[in-house]
A and B are shown apart, each in its own frame.
Chain A
Amino acid sequence: MSPLAQAGGLSLHGIGGAKDLPISPELAIAGAVAALTVSFTVLALAWRKPRYDEVERGRLTGIRAPLEVPAVVAVLRVFGVVVFLYAAVAGVLGKDLLTNPIFGMFYVWWWVGLPLLSVLLGPVWRAISPARTINLVFAKVSGGDQDRGLFDYPARLGYWPAALGLFAFVWMELVYPYSTELGSVRLWCSVYVALMLIGGALFGSSFYERGDPFEVYSTLAGKLSIWGSRDGRVVVRSPLAGLATVEAAPGLVGVVAVLFGSTAFDSFRDSIRWVSFVQGTDRSPYLMNNLGLLGFCLGVGVIFAIGTMASGVEPGFRRTTLPNLFAHSVVPIVIGYIVAHYLTFWFETGQQTLIQASDPLSDGSNYLGTGNWSVNYWLSLHPTLLADLKVVSVVTGHVLGVISAHDRAVKLLPKRHQLTGQLPLLFAMVAFTVGGLYLLFAA
């Protein structure tokens, strides 16, 4: 098989075999009805005074926050660097075969595993990010302060660098025809590491909070975790309290639009309608996929911007600030949909990657002792349960999203607009959720 044929023309099939069955129409409708009902119930019955703010709330435990313990911090940093170097060895010295674990590490562990882990544990990437570690070492060696660079990070840039980085990733995954060639992944990672180091040198480590696509993604997902910290102690909190602490800044809408739009496009491009449409026209599939991905991301961003800006505000309040002030509320919708979309892929191809990781150079070695394990296909073998899990995940995300948007609305909007002002945003959220369910059903 030539490498070109292996890359596939239309769809990424390099890693992961069969895809999930579509969910049943009954289940899709049930999910949509639940989402609608919950939305209006929240609007009618929920509290009228804001309950959450930027402060880390929640129940204080007696446990010392792990990231305040130097030994834990060091272990996590070393772990990040070791995995990074291991992947680099596979990427640089390994063979250009689909069994090279670099592909699974890149597309499954990093892209899907990291946000899922962050939902469970909190913002993982900032604790293990090799770019942060290298920046820290440079600062130690040169006697500087790791948090400060040559310049202050321009506030106007906000999350835009991360949104662009995330788009570059999904473009590589979903559009670029050679996404499963070693050279492509190696080049992507080299450019990523180079940009992160330059960003760190110019603006200090605060650059990573806004500019590292993976840190931004991981931190947003981590807001849904039940763990927080206050005064050096672990706090147990509601995901809603966590969400309210998302820092609004320019580009936050861009980040959630790329994450949601690209996942929706990934479902859509597998649908038989899109496949036969692309194969039926004379236009290049590459162009069509580019337009499709861009269209989905822009569409999500525009719908959300209209939904938030169509609200009533006090005179003198700038409507253009509203999309970013509400963008945190789309995060649970994004995560719920990503769990539904990627759960089997993460579980099965993630295991496959662990098996392949034992032989990074494709020479028959078994360094990790996982080489002779076999993949557990339990999820695929229980399609009904899987379909239920997906819908529960999408609807749960929707519920959290609607409640957190409501809480922000009663805080920001003038009293007489608090309920009616939420309606356009509520419609946008219902559109996202129902659209997501439709894609899970129709793909």
Chain B
Amino acid sequence: MRRTAPLLAAVILVLATLSACGGGSPGSSNSGPKKIDITFSGSSVTPNGEKVEVGVGQKIELHVKADAPGEIHVHSTPEQELQYDQGTTDLTLTIDKPGLVDVESHALEKTILQLEVR
């Protein structure tokens, strides 16, 4: 262990320095609502697995156009389920913790969005 301890210390030092340089960029939490269009048509949906950055607590507005009613599953903690109708539906949600949140249609077995919440 005599030689491994200084090695470990060096690694931690390098990491600490570099992660400090990397610095946290300020979140975009209070910069107005994030608007996202979602279109369901038959067995397809757009977007088809797209990454979207949002802030913690930022209002997210989903503008849903669909040819049949259904529901969207938001895999935040805790999970949220949002119903939409045939035609257009406006849904709003917020996410209160940082993380990666999948937005899915379970009926289509597809991931629509991946929200990167910072």
Which residues of A sit under 8 angstroms from B75, Cβ to Cβ?
13, 17-18
Q: Chain B contacts of A363 at CB under 8 A?
A: none
Separation of A49 and B18 alpha carbons in the complex (Å): 35
Task: Give chain A residues whose Cβ lies under 8 Å from the Cβ of B50.
Answer: 272, 276
Is A30 in contact with chain B by the CB < 8 A criterion? yes
Q: Does B61 sit within 8 A of A, measured CB to CB?
A: no
A329 at the interface (CB under 8 A from B): no
> Which of A16, A30, A396 touches B19 (beta carbons < 8 Å)?
A30
Tell me if A26 and B97 are in contact (CB < 8 A).
Answer: no
**Central interface residue in A20, A29, A279, by most chain B CB within 10 Å:** A279
Contact residues in B for A10 (Cβ distance below 8 Å): 109-111
Task: List the 5 closest pairs (A to B, CB-CB), nearest first.
Answer: A9-B109, A17-B77, A26-B22, A18-B99, A30-B18
A33 to B18, CA, bound (A): 11
**Which residues of chain A are near B102, meaning CB under 8 Å?**
11, 13, 19, 270
Which residues of B come within 8 Å of A, CB atoms? 1, 3-4, 7-8, 10-12, 14-16, 18-19, 21-22, 24, 48-51, 73, 75-79, 95, 97-102, 104, 106-107, 109-111, 114, 116-118
Residues of B within 8 A of A381 (CB): 97-98
CB neighbours (8 Å) of B107 from chain A are 5
Q: A27-B19, A38-B11, A377-B77 are in contact. Are A383 and B98 (CB under 8 A)?
A: yes
* Nearest-neighbor residue (CB-CB) of A277 within chain B: B49
How many A residues touch the partner, as a band? 35 or more
Query: Are B8 and A399 interface neighbours, CB within 8 A?
Result: yes
B98 contacts which chain A residues (CB < 8 A)? 21, 380-381, 383
Please give me the residue from chain B that is nearest to A30 by CB atom: B18
Chain B residues whose C-beta falls within 8 Å of the C-beta of A348 in the assembled complex:
77
A225 CB, min distance to chain B CBs, angstroms: 15
**Minimum distance in angstroms from A243 CB to a CB of chain B:** 12
Contact across chains for A17 and B11 when beta carbons are under 8 A apart: no
